[in-house]
A and B are shown apart, each in its own frame.
Chain A
Amino acid sequence: GDSVTQMEGPVTLSEEAFLTINCTYTATGYPSLFWYVQYPGEGLQLLLKATKADDKGSNKGFEATYRKETTSFHLEKGSVQVSDSAVYFCALRPQGAQKLVFGQGTRLTINP
């Protein structure tokens, strides 16, 4: 079945460091891909999305590119801030379906 595998956390970085959180998926056809973020004490929020191969989603300095050939959607940011500390979830929507399938989440802590 459809699944998402994320880089295990927790991840701890210093402010202004480069961030990569790996995400790979298994799905038939052409799923849509998402990154959601959960800040402390808040609900899940959509961070960025991509709906077809080679699309790049971007928001708040974060980027991820839909790579069909490697079934990946890695999240990157060039210079992280303390305020980026949160739990990040990679997710897919299977082609033709409505539900989201989530990875297990990666907790990110940025130290000043």
Chain B
Amino acid sequence: GAGVSQSPRYKVAKRGQDVALRCDPISGHVSLFWYQQALGQGPEFLTYFQNEAQLDKSGLPSDRFFAERPEGSVSTLKIQRTQQEDSAVYLCASSLRSGTGANEQYFGPGTRLTVT
């Protein structure tokens, strides 16, 4: 199928290492979102792109977190100097349009990051 894909599915990092998480949205989708889901919790918003423009990064927890979408398609979430509290599932979602209203967000399977 042509759903949202994420890689890697699982990542183990030692504390202090940098990691890069990739998201391939559904082809043609304008909007792309990153969420962080801690164990037993609901997803929490990190950042939002409309094409290549990062329009909202209010959810990024610190300046160690950085996201980009340089060509308006694939996106990468980078976490520098990982800490144990960064351990979570990182979800990517895309939607066809950028207008408000009930534009459905389609979620990928997530990347489970474990920082040891």
CB nearest neighbor in B for A89: B42
In the complex the two chains form, is A44's CB within 8 Å of B98's CB? no
Picked from B31, B91, B101, the residue with its CB within 8 Å of the CB of A44 is: B91
A42 proximal to B (CB < 8 A): yes
A43 in contact with B108 given A32-B102, A97-B100, A99-B56 (CB within 8 Å)? yes
Please give the distance in Å from A90's CB to the nearest CB on chain B: 8
In the complex the two chains form, is B43's CB within 8 Å of A102's CB? yes
CB nearest neighbor in B for A103: B42
- For the complex, give the distance between the alpha carbons of A100 and B108 in Å: 15
A100 in contact with B102 given A44-B107, A45-B107 (CB within 8 Å)? no
- For the complex, give the distance between the alpha carbons of A44 and B109 in Å: 8
In the complex the two chains form, is A98's CB within 8 Å of B43's CB? no
- For the complex, give the distance between the alpha carbons of A82 and B59 in Å: 36
